[in-house]
Amino acid sequence: MNETRTINKQIFRLAIPNIISNFSVPLLGAVDTALMGRLETEHYLGAVGIGGVLFSFIYWGFGFLRMATTGLVAQSYGKRDHLECGFLLLRGLSLSVIIGFFLLIFQWLIVDISFYLMSTSLEVEELGRMYFHIRIYAAPAVLCLLVFHGVFLGLQNAHYPMILTVSINVINIVLNILFVKVYGMKVEGVALATVIAQYIGLLLAIILFRMKYSFVLQNWNVKKIFAIHKLRRFIGISNDIFIRTLCLVFSNAYFTAKSAALSDTYLAINTILLQYINLMSYAIDGFAFAVESMIGKYKGEGNLQGIRNSITQIFIFGFIFSGLFSFIFLFYGNRSLHLFTDKEDLILLTQPYLIWIIVAPLINLAAYIWDGVYLGATASKSLRNSMIVAMVLFLCSVYVLAPYGNHGLWGALTILLVIRGVILTLMAPRSLFKVDK
């Protein structure tokens, strides 16, 4: 009983700041959607929706910079190896700068391939390209921030990521409103606001790290940072997570591409509905991030019972939280559509698809929570394999359910999340309950 209380305290100490910070992420997307949804045509809304998917594809693809870092730092923290925590930070930052540099160099190739693969109108493509070529300059800052988030969470500190995320998104929202409403900018204003906010956030991350954790970098040297066996493990885990995330982001991008293929109107409808999914997923991810930090620490300590108890308690809290979201979406979903657009015809067309938003929190929970558990345990191969299977079944579902139009598309997306949760649940006994010797 005492251990359960201790675990519950840890969950709330880590989850609440993560939930607060994660809430601000879809809030930013909601503000972007609301601003673009009130311009003269729906092309602006579609352009930001497409642009957002492209950057999700890029940044989620490199999400291993946070995910691999969190688990490895948490395990080093559990072993009281603070020096290795500092080395992991420097390895991650070095890789982030290199990747960011290459993204800037190849930005034209990336955007050409992206729009070649997506079926959009010429108006949406032109605006989407403008958005992309401005926002891409935030890439180095965004990738470095992923590493800082991973290190802070691994060190069992959820408050610094909260400060960073909320600060960045508040600055971004203020600049969005300033550029669009005051200076009359459109998609270019939204993109520029993001670039400025991310670099301010990176500066803040450096300041916060130096305030509390500068001691982990006191005895560093290049040979230890880039030690072959350490790099091999980091790159191996990162590679698995990269493939897993690439499959997930491809599935989301495919969903958006299929929405655009139906029509610009359906693209606008699904862009609005995805704001609800993002709000819910980012909030539940607060619990996933918490258990990620805890599982990593317990694995470093060799505490299998702590791992089991953490998983049990996090699912209990997660189901309660998810049920609350379903309740809110059920009773307030229709009324809340006016937050995203003032076009009554678009609101009427969106309403029949709210049923997918109502059931999503409870259906999607298992996949979100298991992600955090597996990442904390650095069981990356299991995450990779489960996502590959889920993606293949999702693509098959899109084809099979195509006659049902947009409902079929949402049905396929729901199947993707269900399959992920089921596979990870079945794989848990042999993937998670091991400790390093």
pTM (two decimals): 0.81
Radius of gyration of the chain from its Cα atoms, rounded to whole angstroms: 21
Which domain range does residue 141 map to?
A: 2-432
pLDDT-based confidence at residue 31 (cuts at 50, 70, 90): low
CA 361 – CA 322 distance, rounded (Å): 5
Residue that is written with structure tokens 């997930």 in the block:
248
Over the stretch 291-333, which tens digit does the pLDDT of each residue have? 999 999 989 888 888 888 899 999 998 899 889 989 988 888 7
State residue 40's pLDDT score.
57
CA 283 – CA 318 distance, rounded (Å): 10
Q: Would 329 be classed as within a structural domain?
A: yes
Over the stretch 88-128, which tens digit does the pLDDT of each residue have? 999 999 999 999 999 999 999 988 888 887 767 777 788 88
Q: Would 300 be classed as within a structural domain?
A: yes
pLDDT-based confidence at residue 437 (cuts at 50, 70, 90): very low
pLDDT-based confidence at residue 57 (cuts at 50, 70, 90): confident
Residue that is written with structure tokens 């072993």 in the block:
79
How many CA within 13 A on the CB side of residue 213?
25
State residue 62's pLDDT score.
87
Q: Would 437 be classed as within a structural domain?
A: no
State residue 103's pLDDT score.
95
Residues in contact with 237: Cβ distance below 8 Å, sequence separation at least 6, in sequence order: 64, 68, 71, 72, 378, 380
Task: For residues 250-259, give the mean pLDDT.
Answer: 86
User: Within 10 Å of residue 25's Cβ, how many Cβ atoms?
Assistant: 19
Mean pLDDT in the chain? 86
The count of domains in the chain is 1
